[in-house]
A = this chain, B = another copy of it.
Amino acid sequence: MQSAVHDATRELLAEVGRAELTVPMIAARAGVTSSTIYRRWGDLRQLLSDVAVERLRPETPPEDTGSLRTDLLRWAEQYLEESGSPTGKAYLLDVLAANADPSNQFQCSRFNQRQIGHIVDRAIARGEPAPEVDTVLDHVVAPTIYRILFGTELPPVEWVRGLVSSVLEGLTVKEVR
């Protein structure tokens, strides 16, 4: 039942858009009653948040490109591109909108933690010195999310490469006087 409802929600999001989407519409498409959906999810917001978390769940570990630097660059560039797309941002906002239940927000953060963890573990296995996972979260993932959520436009890929350099070579602070 859950996967039929998730599928119906994703299809209808693409077909009719978020503003027009209703629980009865999703119920009809999924072949269940509206009250089944309300019983299981409470409201549309929680359902959208659950669907978003499933979409944000990484399907595979980050690509192994042979070095820490290129692994991190590849991952960070893809993360900016995917989470910064209109669909990616809408999913992030859906996860944050369900302020009744913050567990989906924690889940999102754990996805990033796990992906970065893979990259760091591989670096250690290769004998490369590697930053702590939290450092990458604070100085690569967090600024990317901040720009996506609060910025007027998406930063260029060079910007995210600079973030990766800051956790590999230390932050070079351009000083103004």
- A: residues with CB less than 8 A from B are 18-19, 90, 93, 96-97, 99-100, 105-106, 108-109, 120, 124, 127, 129-132, 135, 137-139, 141-143, 145-147, 149-152, 163, 166-168, 170-177
A44: shortest Cβ distance to chain B, in Å? Answer: 13
Instruction: Return chain B residues, CB-CB under 8 Å to A132.
Output: 173-176
- In the complex the two chains form, is A130's CB within 8 Å of B19's CB? no
Question: How many identical chains are in the complex?
Answer: 2
In the complex with contacts A142-B143, A151-B109, A131-B175 CB distance below 8 A? yes
Q: Are B168 and A106 within 8 A (Cβ)?
A: no
Closest Cβ of chain B to A120, distance in Å, is 7
Which listed residue (B108, B146, B151, B166) contacts A171, Cβ 8 A? Answer: B166
10 A–B contact pairs at CB < 8 A?
A93-B97, A132-B176, A135-B173, A137-B146, A139-B139, A142-B147, A167-B173, A170-B170, A170-B171, A170-B173
